[in-house]
Amino acid sequence: MVNPAVTRRFCPKCHSENIILWMGGYTGAMYRCPDCGYTGPVVIETDGSIPSGESEVDEKE
């Protein structure tokens, strides 16, 4: 489990760290990225940085 004190959130579409909690409550958490316009419940949460570039799965194909 990720420690919430050091958790960093990233946009799943553009990987920007400029992701904000847009809505919450009974609907669940909804996030918005002002950089690319993404709006949705999924964000990348990590205690480090996300890798840049393509993933290993993409390289093997």
CA distance 61 to 50: 21
Confidence of residue 61 (pLDDT cuts 50, 70, 90): very low
Residues 6 or more apart in contact with residue 29 via CB below 8 angstroms? 21, 23, 41
CA distance 46 to 22: 19
Q: Among residues 16, 21, 17, which one has the least CA distance to residue 39? A: 21
Q: Tokens 């959130």 identify what position?
A: 9
pLDDT single digits (tens) 9-52: 999 999 999 999 988 888 789 999 999 999 999 999 888 766 56
